[in-house]
Amino acid sequence: MEFEIIAKDAMGRICRIETPHGRIETPTVLPVINPNIPFIPPDEMKNFGAQALITNAYIIYRTLAEEAVSKGVHRILRTDLPVMTDSGSYQLMVYGDVEVSNREILEFQKEIGSDFIIPLDIPTPPDADYETARKDLEITIEREREAKELNGISSLVLPIQGSTHMELRRESAKKAKEIGGDVYAIGAVVPLMDAYRFKDLVRIILEVRSVLRVEPVHLFGCGHPMVLAMAVALGCDLFDSAAYALYAKDDRYLTVYGTKKLSDLQYFPCNCPNCSKMDPEEVRELEKAEREIFLAEHNLYVTFSEIRTIKNAIKEGSLFELVEKRIRAHPNLISAWRQIKDYSPLLEDSDPRIKKRFLYCGIETLMRPAVKRHLESVKQLDFEKEVIVISTDLGVLADIYVRPVFGPVPAELLESYPAGHAEIPEAEFIEKEALEMAVENLRDFMRCLNDKKFVVHVSGRWKDFVKDLPGECEYVLH
Amino acid sequence: MEFEIIAKDAMGRICRIETPHGRIETPTVLPVINPNIPFIPPDEMKNFGAQALITNAYIIYRTLAEEAVSKGVHRILRTDLPVMTDSGSYQLMVYGDVEVSNREILEFQKEIGSDFIIPLDIPTPPDADYETARKDLEITIEREREAKELNGISSLVLPIQGSTHMELRRESAKKAKEIGGDVYAIGAVVPLMDAYRFKDLVRIILEVRSVLRVEPVHLFGCGHPMVLAMAVALGCDLFDSAAYALYAKDDRYLTVYGTKKLSDLQYFPCNCPNCSKMDPEEVRELEKAEREIFLAEHNLYVTFSEIRTIKNAIKEGSLFELVEKRIRAHPNLISAWRQIKDYSPLLEDSDPRIKKRFLYCGIETLMRPAVKRHLESVKQLDFEKEVIVISTDLGVLADIYVRPVFGPVPAELLESYPAGHAEIPEAEFIEKEALEMAVENLRDFMRCLNDKKFVVHVSGRWKDFVKDLPGECEYVLH
């Protein structure tokens, strides 16, 4: 499979994937199409921004096998978009059993001309005991090997399982990488999504990304616009989702800040062509079938405009800022995202060194690679003067200014990215952590200049933080 | 003027204002219409969600006076929406002079049938010296008195001036209230907006709201969707804006997170009917005139969908959550909003006591009235037991649980609003301030139970914070 990374930000990227049915530009969401109940016609999916579709090969196998083999899956769905086919593994999770073998369903996917085929992996749910998860994973790996042997021209998607056992997720990723797929798909995470267990979700993605550093990664079933920005920033490229339809049937309305019930809405908090035309009261009065289509279309509009928003953020280097806004949809997202602190080498490995802007959003801003890199680079600088003047106040003439978050910023770097370009709330209004990190960085910097003397001007709220500096310091309080 | 408050949240509200041309439901933005250059036709403004328009009586007076007097301003603009007319005060600010008297322009506004008339106030810019601002304000107040005497059936809008001198802003509000207007309009704040001096903007609104506690307040010229949620939450009801058109002419694109240049956009971070149809590259290739209309329409869509989003948040009691997300558009908004800490009685006065949810977003969440009210109410409770068991861990059987932000939560209130309903990041991931406030509240609570003994179970990160408790305490560390 041809795969090219064309832009990067945080751990996210914009990639191009070539398929026999054309190019996909990631990140993107593949709407789930039920081959027997085409709710929103697949040929309309392009209008919302869809670049590829996903359907269930097992359902086709059970209900339309002959027709599908003769016509191919694209004509069955009436689409010319690339199609990924799932294997029945979802049915395995829900019903515990499927009436097809791994080999059969793989051969079938090839026969119907799927662009992306998936073996019949075992989706071990979260919190499974270790032994069960390990045994399930063994079967999954065996089936992935079989898939690799059978595969022809389709792209091969290798699921990553292991329940909530991080060592098994890593093991699954390692084994899949050895086998060699085109796309790696993190599976059995929908129950985590549904229970707002975003901390586990993020941990799993980061563990998998620690093994699969550059490969295309799909996150099975997580297409809710509330998590897309975060998941992309963690390195997920592809998503699929039936939420647009399932939620619509249940009178629920997707937003980037969570799901709303239609019955609770007084005004549509949305801009889409549908929500610009009607108000919630009018939609509630529609016939069920019309209402479902209204909501499903809204759900698709909001999903793909979020994808555009994310891609634009990657292009402008503001994906961290976008995620730091989006996680405020729910406190569990805040906790979840702040785990990136434990994965800083991974982040530093992929995040671009130069961006246009740096806007502070909250204490998770301190975890951006730019902060650590700034400290490393100022620690390399040489200073000729014997006495270094340091000031927390930009109004005082100094060699080094102390800024929240970054700490020491040499006067000549006050116009440079990141610390100079950074837009940060004033010391009086910022979180304590941002001042503490600044002072910790200042101490670290001063320790590298152990032959110097320092004059330190300290003003306002900084007085509570600038203390215990190393070396010979004269303090001037303002 | 008939004016009714139908819903409240934070200091924001949804109000109904009756005019001779129908009802306005606030908060809303009045698009500025240039009577000679109707860029987006006024009769289309309803389609975007506009409920009223604003135009410049001085321009009409200078260029279309006779026609306007015979036809009326509504027929001149070809609209049946309520129309507010500005007086030439904007021209006074920009050009330093106008060729009309206060009395003349007021009489003219009455003659052309304006629904809201405005005297020729003096818009003193920010940072004017005190004496200038005071003298300007005297003239403004004099003209407001004249307006009050002259006014007939139109609603009277009384501007609030005073530059960045808070005592003058308060004085202006007091005098205007004495004179008695229908709407009070905070003026000369656009330069603050343009310079991102949101701290001054917020301070001015709060000072004015300290005097005008319930009256309808208009914020002159601040219709940028980036500030709307915050301004509404501070008590502003009406806005007007030419930004939709001015920015469009300059190839700029409004979003709730700031202004983008069309030339910088690779993907439209938006859902609106226009942005769902075309991509930035296609729009850049349009003829100038078509491009301007595309952008102006987008700008209107995003402005009015933000208004709907705000109104929906007021209805569901989540306006604090919305603002705490929106301020992350820019660090200056974060600093600005966090000034509400100094105005807690004002906030408590208007914020409803019962809401459905409480979601934590950041340290500004600590400033919501619900937090203080919770502490006050638990301090009223009686406890029969002699030994009170307190725990930071929900897994330990206790009388009182310690939660971030709120501090003490009696076991029987674990299911009640706000502390019980609150969704808060885990102690391990939350800002220090949220744990410090919890412990400070716990101490305050324990001091009210000075005849009790305490057993305090402390777990995890709480160990760094739960110390120096008052009274007789036995600590159990987990």
pLDDT digits (tens, 9 = 90+) for A110-137: 999 999 999 999 999 999 999 999 999 9
Dist CA A225 CA A217 (whole Å): 17
Distances in Å between the Cα of B328 and the Cα atoms of A150, B232, B258 are 51, 16, 10
Closest CA to A220 of A212, A204, A330: A204
Closest CA to B234 of B9, B27, B14, B11: B11
pLDDT digits (tens, 9 = 90+) for A318-372: 999 999 999 999 999 999 999 999 999 999 999 999 999 999 999 999 999 999 9
Residue B328: closest C-alpha in chain A: A361
Pairing relation of β-strands A2-9 and A12-19?
antiparallel
Contact call for residues A123 and A188 (beta carbons, < 8 A): yes
Q: Which residue among A267, A429, A432 places its CB closest to the CB of B312?
A: A267
Joined tokens for residue B299:
């700008």
Q: Which residues pair with A472 in a beta bridge?
A: A453
Cβ neighbours of B335 in A, within 8 Å: 425-426, 428-430
Residue B126 has a pLDDT of: 98
> What mean pLDDT is predicted for residues A192-211?
98
Q: Does residue B93 carry a pLDDT above 90? A: no
Amino acid at the residue A195? A
pLDDT digits (tens, 9 = 90+) for A254-268: 999 999 999 999 999
Dist CA A368 CA A406 (whole Å): 11
Q: Does residue A219 carry a pLDDT above 80? A: yes
> What mean pLDDT is predicted for residues A161-174?
98
Percent of chain A past pLDDT 70, that is, above it, reads: 100
Contact call for residues A159 and A119 (beta carbons, < 8 A): yes
- Give the residue numbers of B marked as catalytic: 86
pLDDT digits (tens, 9 = 90+) for A34-43: 988 878 999 9
The residue among B303 and B416 whose pLDDT is bigger is B303
> What mean pLDDT is predicted for residues A386-392?
97
> What mean pLDDT is predicted for residues A86-108?
90
Q: Does residue A151 carry a pLDDT above 90? A: no
Give Cα B101 to chain centroid, integer Å.
Answer: 33
Dist CA B190 CA B204 (whole Å): 12
pLDDT digits (tens, 9 = 90+) for A393-424: 999 999 999 999 999 999 999 988 898 889 99
Residue B450 has a pLDDT of: 87
Dist CA B7 CA A462 (whole Å): 42
pLDDT digits (tens, 9 = 90+) for A459-472: 999 999 999 999 99
Percent of chain B past pLDDT 70, that is, above it, reads: 100
Contact call for residues B210 and B247 (beta carbons, < 8 A): no
CATH placement of domain B2-340: 3.20.20.105
Dist CA A165 CA A391 (whole Å): 49
Instruction: Delimit the domains of chain A by residue range.
Output: 2-340, 358-477
Cβ neighbours of A276 in B, within 8 Å: 48-49, 272-273, 301, 305
Residue B141 has a pLDDT of: 98
Three-state secondary structure string covering B319-355: HHHHHHHHHHHCHHHHHHHHHHHHHHHHHHHHCCCCC
Asked if A272 has any chain B CB less than 8 Å from its own CB, the reply is: yes
Closest CA to A434 of A424, A449, A448, A419: A424
Joined tokens for residue A43:
């040929």
pLDDT digits (tens, 9 = 90+) for A446-459: 999 989 999 999 99
Dist CA B270 CA B276 (whole Å): 8
Residue A311: closest C-alpha in chain B: B267
Catalytic residue among A9, A86, A136, A182: A86
The residue among B36 and B77 whose pLDDT is bigger is B77
Asked if B107 has any chain A CB less than 8 Å from its own CB, the reply is: no
pLDDT digits (tens, 9 = 90+) for B246-277: 999 999 999 999 999 999 999 999 999 999 99
Contact: A315, B267; criterion CB under 8 Å: yes
For the question of residue A86 being annotated catalytic, the response is yes
Neighbours of A228 (CB within 10 A): 26
Contact: A305, B424; criterion CB under 8 Å: no
> What mean pLDDT is predicted for residues B161-183?
98
